[in-house]
Amino acid sequence: MRADREKVRLRTIAFGISPSPGTLGEGRGEGSSVRQEHLIVEKGPSPYPSPRVPGEGTKNATRWVRLVFIVGVLTGLVYLHSNWFHPPTAFSEEEIVGAHLARGDGFVSPFMDSAGAPPSAWCPPVYPMVVGAIYRLLGLRTPMATMAILTFGVFCRAVAAAGVYGLGRQLFSQSAGLLAASLFLLNPIFIHSIGYGWDNLLGLAMFLWLLMAAFSEGVSPIVLGAGAGLLLLTNAAYGLAIPVLLFIAARRWVGYRILIFAATLLLTLLPWTIRNYAQFDRLLFVRGNLWTELWLGNQPAGTGWMTLDSLASHPSVDRVNHDEVIALGESQYAQICRQRFMAEWRADPMGFVERSANRAAYLVVGEPGRQGAALRCILAAFGLSGAWAFVRAKHPARWVALAAVMAVAPYAVTQVHDRYLLPVQAVLALCAAGVCDFLLLILLPKAIAYGHFRSGPLSRYSGRGIG
């Protein structure tokens, strides 16, 4: 026990906190038993805290997950029927592909909204399939079908909020999880994303729950591998976060489980990859328009953000590029964009660096002047300080922060929009809640040591340490 306490003391010092009397004690309350499980992350066969608390704690956590989900659904529905919501005048490329699927045209180009469009791998298949299924059931672009697509976004946001709560409780405490979920639900970026008709909220919900599964005891490599494959088939940008997800789970696995994870992931991607090879005679695991996005997002006169200037050359706006992508096909058009991008990069390499720096800043705080900019700046300050502290303290939350960074890394060199910020904004809320949780540890230990807060919501801080 003395060795275990020494680990806690060293962890506390690494975080920059001097242990106070009572901080490392053995409190007898429910909070103390939970915190002992969170404290010694090196102890025993598992390198991470278990998300499951025996007995009543698990039931309470399930109730809170349901409550967060319900609040997410209700606030989303209120937003859809409020004056703040402006119905979209047009949906995304994924919606157009979904309409093609509903008509029986197959997975074809989003730049032709009629029969005869060429095959496409412009976007991953999962969300267009969801849209296609809704259109088949409720009618093509009927008001009821449109509302169903928006309501699906509401449910995805609510599931993501529940995932944020679960991660917060898993890594910090129940109150930190509730604070993180509240910050998530209050952030305008997430509620505005409902109206985009895109895959971003669905991908975010899958990403957060996969992270929570990776930290869980006994997670099946088959389940995690299939989930990771479906995430890539929803939003391929998460591909760089998959190794982090595997690393988190593999700390508990033996070698053959890692192979099972990889095999399941590849098998999940295989049908779509085979389809792409048959259509384009090229190996495309998910999509093949990286060079197109690089060129479109790095127009010489642009800032790197998705603005009207950067969209001026987009095939959905510019008639010349539209005709090129239809006539040549996406693969050959991507090669033309590659040549254009390389020529412009050689002419002005520092311009590319400047635009990438602009995009990196945007990914953290969003566009200045937008609604909620002040909240995002405060959230970024707390969240980044928390991420830095968790890295320094070797806290498991550092892997969540790394996964979020990797999830948005492709946008740092292509182009950015509010809907691309979601993984970073969600994890910033989580890290900010973790910082507040630790601030309570700094401010309250002396009061606790002198007998205050022996009961009530703050009593759980008796006997807690850095976990």
18 CB-side CA count, 13 A? 1
Give the whole-angstrom CA distance, residue 140 versus residue 251.
Answer: 47
Separation between Cα atoms, residue 190 and residue 426, nearest integer Å: 9
Q: Does residue 467 lie within any of the structural domains?
A: no
Cα 443-447-451 angle, rounded to 5 deg: 155
Enter the tokens of residue 194: 């409902």
Structural domain contains residue 155: yes
Q: Is 394 left (phi over 0), alpha (psi -120 to 50) or beta?
A: left
Q: Is residue 284 part of a domain?
A: yes
How many whole angstroms separate alpha carbon 197 and alpha carbon 128? 10
- Residue 281 has a pLDDT of 87
- Residue 345 is which amino acid? W
Cβ atoms of residues 296 and 337 within 8 Å: yes
Rounded-to-integer distance, Cα 214 and Cα 194, Å:
27
Q: Residue 280 belongs to what domain range?
A: 2-461
Is residue 354 in a domain?
yes
Residue 54 lies in a domain: yes
HSE value, Cβ hemisphere, 13 Å, CA-based, for 175: 16
Has residue 277 been placed in a domain?
yes
Please count the other Cβ atoms lying within 10 Å of the Cβ belonging to residue 51.
18
Is residue 212 domain-resident? yes
- Among the residues of 233-348, which ranges form H helices? 242-250, 255-280, 290-297, 308-311, 319-328, 330-347
Helix (H, G, I), strand (E, B) or coil at 416: strand
pTM: 0.83
Provide the token pair at 399.
Answer: 């892997």
Structural domain count of the chain: 1
Print pLDDT tens along the chain (467 aa): 444 444 434 344 334 443 433 333 333 333 333 333 333 333 344 444 444 433 345 667 788 999 999 999 999 999 999 888 877 666 688 999 999 999 999 999 999 888 888 999 999 999 999 999 999 999 999 999 999 999 999 999 999 999 999 999 999 989 999 999 999 999 988 998 998 888 999 999 999 999 999 998 888 999 999 999 999 999 999 999 999 999 999 988 877 899 999 999 999 999 999 999 999 888 889 988 889 989 988 888 777 776 666 677 888 888 999 999 999 889 899 999 999 999 999 999 998 999 999 898 888 887 766 666 777 788 888 899 889 989 998 999 999 999 999 999 999 998 888 888 899 999 999 999 998 888 877 666 655 544 444 444 444 444 443 33
Residue 466 in domain: no
